[in-house]
Amino acid sequence: GSSATPGGSSPRKAEVLADALDFVRNAMPRNVSALITSKVDRLSPSVQRLLKCASVVGTSFDIATVFAILPASARTRFVEDLAAARRAGLVSMIPVAEVDSSGRPHWNPDKARSGNDGEKGSVHLPPPNASLQPDCTFANARTRDVVYSLMLFSQRRELHGLIALEIVRRAAVEWFAFPSISFHAMKAEQGRLALKYARKAGDVAFYSQAGREACDQYDRADTIAEDLWAKKLSKASGKGKGEGADSRASANLSGACVEGELDDVVTDNTALLVSDAVRVTFGPLTLLHVVSLKRKRARAQHDLGLFKGAALSLRSALSLVGLDLPALSVQWRSWEWQKQRVRLAKLDRKKKDAIRADAHLAREVVMCLSLLARIAYFECRHQASKMFVSLALELVEGVADGDHAASAGRDAPGGIEEGVDSDSREDGGPKKAGEVLSSAVSGLLAPSLHFVGGIIGMDSSAGAPPSARGTSSSDTLRAVVLSSAVLAEAGGSTSEAIKFGLDGIRLARQLRLREDEARLRQALGMVESGAANWTAAQEHLRCAIDLAEELGEKRLLEECSVLMAKVAFFRGDLRGAVVETEKALESARARGDVLSLMSALLSQAQNQYFLGDNAECASLLEE
């Protein structure tokens, strides 16, 4: 009619078509995340619940953990829900062998409903997987992130807490589970649990020569400890609720799910996870734990060659106990160092007495000062190294032997777990204390070495055998400072440094401090090399290399190999220098230690240059 358009269509139809196009255009997902969200929304609530629980575990997850944190009412449809998620293309099974290394068959969801036991449609539940090996994965990381973001923060927090407790229940003593427990506990705001297992994970990584992983875990533990300590101080001063938040979060973990605070995600499965077998108890957090963690963090950074970060960590730890040390500066003159030494010598006596009163805290402070002195020495700041060692010796001398003997054999007071530090190479402990001194100790140190004259107490019974003198754990504490003291003194007279180092090696042997003996050998090798005593230098460095191999100290082994190559180079044995440096190169490449690798590459480039192989020299320098 008259309202028709030239094309033969009415305006009303065109308007309806335009509205339909606008609706389709607006309803279509505009990006990948929206597309995944729409796909999840079309699934049943039980499948969505399963996907949400799995997303909290991670992109790859083991089905047994997801099954354990699901409410009991949702477990009856677990196989069907997992199959629906797989059909939707959101998750897929990871191909694994039918039987794992322990001989236990893996759970196969496709064979979960067999009906062999006479009950139609019976479900074979996934067995607990102690190794936590993932057997299912999301289609991609974006899918997992989208599903994870569909939950409220409170829901994610509670699920992280349940997962942490489930892993503790199944694999609390397995080292590979420590990082996972720490991560989920931190996400659940369970500070004590996260702190405990982050420290454990750092210890495992450190002694496995995984320096970067150790630093990461110690960083996490240090951050958590600082937060808990700040809350504790705030609570003590009445300015905040302190650790009440942490305890409330713990209470929520055992009661919130039953009360229905998580709606349909978690409801009635808490009783399984918060049983007596799973409950984790903690003592009060003390200053000792915070200082110990900072020292361990600095130790890992030191072994990676991150001296600046290690020094900052140590100064932060010492500032907590009232020792505000000056920042190291190469521009300081000798009179400025003398001024700082006088200032530290006049520290408030009450602060020093407070440190000495706690044997474990005194040990940690001495260890921090010892490591700080070693860092200062290797940075060629000998005045600073001497200053730190002097302060350490002053603190050590003020600790009564009886206090150490009484406390060395028991756990640290208020320990989060079995003790603050179980490093056998750093703490002599009561077993070694009885073997510390022999009848030859009285003449061990020469009178001219006044710098460390107080390392060993010379009382009237010094010549008696250890059994007659009794256990003296403070002797072990004194020996802890020894290697740093030797390094500090090595910046002065060469002859004095050599005498001092030889006496230190004898004492380290008696105390069975093998790592300190290796460090002393390394330092003496450097001193002897500087005095052109090539044979003596090679002897000390060879002993240090052997000790480093026995202890598994790869970085020390590489440093000594490079020094050995330098000695061979100055003796004119270029082929021997190449062989020694190649050992350091192989070890540094295997560990991925960039700083150690650079040192070895430069040394090898120098060797190749003087051998006339300019092409190889250029290749090494380019690398």
Contact 561, 567 (CB under 8 A): no
Is the pLDDT reported for residue 431 higher than 70?
Answer: no
The three-state (H, E, C) secondary structure of 93-112, written as one string = ECCCCCECCCCCECCCHHHC
Q: Is the pLDDT of residue 116 over 70?
A: no
pLDDT greater than 70 at residue 80? yes
Give the pLDDT band (50/70/90) at residue 259. very low
For residue 351, what are the contacts with CB-CB under 8 A and spacing of at least 6? 321, 322, 323
Two tokens, residue 398 = 């003020």
- Phi and psi at 172, nearest 5°, equal -65, -25
Question: What pLDDT score was predicted for residue 331?
Answer: 54
More confident of the two residues 362 and 497: 362
Which tokens is 66 given? 């997801």
Per residue in 314-335, pLDDT (tens digit) is: 988 888 888 777 666 555 555 5
What separation in angstroms does the CA of 500 have from each of 269, 423, 446, 562? 65, 27, 8, 24
Specify burial of residue 93 (Cβ count, 10 A radius: 0-12, 13-18, 19+): middle
Please give, one letter per residue, the 3-state secondary structure of 183-238. Answer: HHHHHCCCHHHHHHHHHHHHHHHHHCCCHHHHHHHHHHHHHHHHHHHHHHHHHHCC
Other beta carbons less than 10 A from residue 326's beta carbon: 15
Q: pLDDT band for position 213 (50/70/90)? A: confident
Segment 147-194, tens digit of pLDDT: 999 999 888 999 998 988 888 887 766 778 888 888 898 888 888 888
Q: What's the confidence (pLDDT) of residue 262?
A: 35
Q: Tokens 């909290």 belong to which residue?
A: 56
Q: Topology of domain 553-623, per CATH?
A: 1.25.40
Residue 132 pLDDT > 90, yes or no?
no
Comparing 530 with 47, the larger pLDDT belongs to 47
Q: Is the pLDDT of residue 601 over 90?
A: yes
Q: Rounded distance, CA 403 to CA 397, Å?
A: 12
* Residue 417 dihedral angles phi and psi, to the nearest 5°: -145, -140
445 vs 450: CA distance, rounded Å: 9
What whole-number distance in Å separates Cα of residue 148 and Cα of residue 90? 13
The whole-model pTM stands at: 0.57
